[in-house]
Structure 1
Amino acid sequence: MNVITPQPAQPPRRVLIVEDSAVLRHLLMRVVADDPRLELAEAVETAEEALRLVPRLRPDVISMDICLPGMDGLEATRQIMAHFPTPIVIVSDTLGGQATHVSMNALRSGALTVIEKPQGLTGSAGAAVAQGIATQLYIMSQVPVIRRRLMQAEPFRHKGMWSHPLAIHPRIVAMAASTGGPTAFARVLGDLPPDFALPVVLVQHMGQSFMEGFARWLDQQVALPVTLAQHGMPLERGRVLVAPGDRHMTVGTRGEVLLHDAAPVQGQRPSADVLFSSVAKVFGADGLGVLLTGMGEDGVEGLGRIRARGGYTVVEDRSTAVIHGMPGAAERAGAACISLPVHEISPHILRAMAGGPVPSQDPLAG
């Protein structure tokens, strides 16, 4: 008779809460206390207290407020990621552009994601909010983080000298990302020239209330103009259109973007699959898809459709992806033409569009 040895239960993930509002701090403490996957390491009011405790407590994840007395959450995030890399979840107000701007910069400094502050935990709606926050903390606590300076990274050096010409002639670039996406988008779009000749459409998984602020922040980070898409807005060369929160975005046959309220796909709305699939249908071999860091498999099927129609597809390599879930799934499904570190994606696309030599996917090919 086979004896099944029970697997030891995973210990709960230890959470450090940094929040100066006593009301919100106790709400977050309740969220942690009520979830068996989590355990409260400590709850503090200031960034200075957090910096003092992190080396001693070694929490698995930090819930970080942005507007704090003294040192703000942005600087605290920088300090923690520089000296004691720890998964950080930004819990932010959405009131006012400054709060969103600082939250986005915290993501660029190494925080993993941003979620909205809870207004209360009563009733079914409150229970759903609490569950969502707890799940984000639990998932992010398991993301390995290291000291990185991706925004200043050196160009990627491919192994060997084998290269081949690749002439592609896309008429649109479609991009998507989830966790880690703001930083990745800032890098990829920031590496494109101001006179980039193609329209860009993108999906970022993020709470609806943050999307307008995200688009404004990204517009300030890159040379290309970035706009939150509106239904019927025309595709224009050199302009980036961002899917708004909680609406699918597709491209239309008359060169416009269309917004839809259809059901979520892979649990996401907007969905990368929906956007990529429309690009494959409308543009065929003239579509270029880019799938960046993120959790899950959204975008894999749609990216595969772009490739199946003869378009070109790029995914972010695991060496730079905060979470390699989405691009890794695309690789395994055969949806990716090539996998590259984030700082090499735009140079590769520009070389390929110019018909210049690009790295061979097979380093043994001569």
Structure 2
Amino acid sequence: MSLSPQPRVRVMVVEDSLVVRQLLVHIIGRDPRLIVAAAVGSAEEALREIGRVQPDVISMDIRLPGMDGLEATRRIMSDHPTPIVVIADSIEDSSLKISMNALRAGALTVVEKPVGLSSAGYDGIADTICTQLYIMSQVPVVRQRSTVWRPNAPASLPTWEPDPRLSRPSILGIAASTGGPPALAKILGALPADFPVPILLVQHMGAPFMEGFASWLNGLMPLDVRLAQDQEIPAAGRVYVAPGDRHLLLSSAGTLRISAEPPVGNQRPSATLMFQSIAQMAGRRGLGVLLTGMGEDGAQGLFEMHRAGGYTIAEDESSAVVYGMPAAAVRLGGVSISLPLDLISSRIQRLARGDGE
């Protein structure tokens, strides 16, 4: 008996340029996993049609006439929660800032907008768009309420008596994928400017967006956030972001190493490689945090940090947009504790102060 084929993922395309809209419809239409359920030219039209069309995923332009893609994302996530993939036409500051804020408002990822059939890299960009639309359509999204984010609001911690054998960390590694930007903004934004530990950060995102992502984070918080440079000496109170399509490692000399080694688990940068380098170089003075994301990147590395005596935190399922990477780390036995997002920053600060030593 033959199995019935899987139903195609229904995509709503929101794009004001007729040329680009037709190009996206062409790209999506040739993918056997996807089908275009609607293609509209404005956010207002998308909001009118979404209840009728009921797409599985939305391809969202950011620069739209009238209401922009950020406000459209906010309204969709409030009234008709649907996975949203931002299609960005520029890596300039203004466009990127809107894109990053759309991720904070509930969009799941951002990918490059295709330029034309004959442009360099067209096939790769087209494949990325289709794959991201398909994958993100599987993410269960929840209704986003409009709230005022207060990065320095203290979280209420449960009673915790730290192990007096814990070493004060000398380095903090944080990794995230799908759902990562808003989680990172919340955790890092609650750390003070005089935070006493350098921070290495891996966020899975398209290479062209990484510089803008670091700049966006830098504008949200007291910490100094920058793209990591090879052979740089990590300093307290700074966040070093893995550059696009490059691994970020801690070297035996205690400096940063930027590597073009092959992807690990299809990821470059790889959270596992970063955590492994911290395990090898910092041992029990390493602190690792693994946040929301699909797949298993980071799990093996966090396990090795844990085995080396470092303290490891995984985001709890209750707050993770996608409980893939943290769940894999828990299954391996590499997690000292699982905490919901609201409690992670406070725990990091207590560990960095050496409470309980």
* Aligned equivalent of 1:81: 77
Classify the secondary structure of the residue corresponding to 2:175.
strand
TM-aligned CA deviation for residue 50 of structure 1 = 0.5
* Aligned equivalent of 1:361: none
1:22 aligns with 2:21: no
Residues 93 and 100 of structure 1 are in contact (CA less than 8 Å); yes or no, is this contact kept in structure 2? no
**Amino acid aligned to 1:319:** S
* Structure 1 residues without counterparts, runs of 5 or longer: 358-366
**Amino acid aligned to 2:84:** I
Q: Aligned equivalents of 1:165 and 1:129: distance in 2?
A: 47
1:343 aligns with 2:342: yes
Distance verdict in 2 for CA 1:321–1:92, change over 3 Å: same
**Amino acid aligned to 1:120:** G
Q: Aligned equivalents of 2:63 and 2:85: distance in 1?
A: 14
1:72 aligns with 2:46: no
1:302 aligns with 2:301: yes
Classify the secondary structure of the residue corresponding to 2:161.
strand
Classify the secondary structure of the residue corresponding to 2:123.
helix
1:276 aligns with 2:272: no
* Structure 2 residues without counterparts, runs of 5 or longer: none
CA deviations on 1:88-129 (whole Å, 9 max, x unpaired) are 000002342111111000000000000000123459953333
1:111 aligns with 2:110: no
Q: Aligned equivalents of 1:62 and 1:39: distance in 2?
A: 12
Q: Aligned equivalents of 1:244 and 1:124: distance in 2?
A: 21
TM-aligned CA deviation for residue 154 of structure 1 = 8.8
Q: Aligned equivalents of 1:323 and 1:21: distance in 2?
A: 32
Q: Which moved more, 1:107-116 or 1:7-16?
A: 7-16
Q: Aligned equivalents of 2:184 and 2:157: distance in 1?
A: 21
User: Within 5 A, what are the aligned runs for 1:1-366?
Assistant: 6-121=2-117, 125-148=121-144, 151=149, 155=155, 163-167=160-164, 168=166, 169-354=168-353
Number of equivalences: 350
TM-aligned CA deviation for residue 157 of structure 1 = 6.6
**Amino acid aligned to 1:309:** A
Q: Aligned equivalents of 2:25 and 2:46: distance in 1?
A: 15
Pairwise CA RMSD of aligned residues? 2.0
Identity, % of aligned positions: 53
CA deviations on 1:206-230 (whole Å, 9 max, x unpaired) are 1110000000000011111101111
Q: TM-score, normalization: structure 2?
A: 0.93
**Amino acid aligned to 2:184:** F
Residues 121 and 130 of structure 1 are in contact (CA less than 8 Å); yes or no, is this contact kept in structure 2? no
Residues 226 and 239 of structure 2 are in contact (CA less than 8 Å); yes or no, is this contact kept in structure 1? yes
Q: Aligned equivalents of 1:323 and 1:196: distance in 2?
A: 28
**Amino acid aligned to 1:212:** E
Classify the secondary structure of the residue corresponding to 1:221.
coil
Distance verdict in 2 for CA 1:321–1:260, change over 3 Å: same
Residues 93 and 117 of structure 1 are in contact (CA less than 8 Å); yes or no, is this contact kept in structure 2? yes
Q: Which moved more, 1:78-87 or 1:117-126?
A: 117-126
TM-aligned CA deviation for residue 235 of structure 1 = 0.5
Q: Aligned equivalents of 1:8 and 1:321: distance in 2?
A: 33
TM-aligned CA deviation for residue 54 of structure 1 = 1.1
Q: Which moved more, 1:89-98 or 1:283-292?
A: 89-98
**Amino acid aligned to 1:199:** P
Q: Aligned equivalents of 2:107 and 2:154: distance in 1?
A: 22
Q: Aligned equivalents of 1:140 and 1:66: distance in 2?
A: 18
Q: Aligned equivalents of 1:122 and 1:353: distance in 2?
A: 52
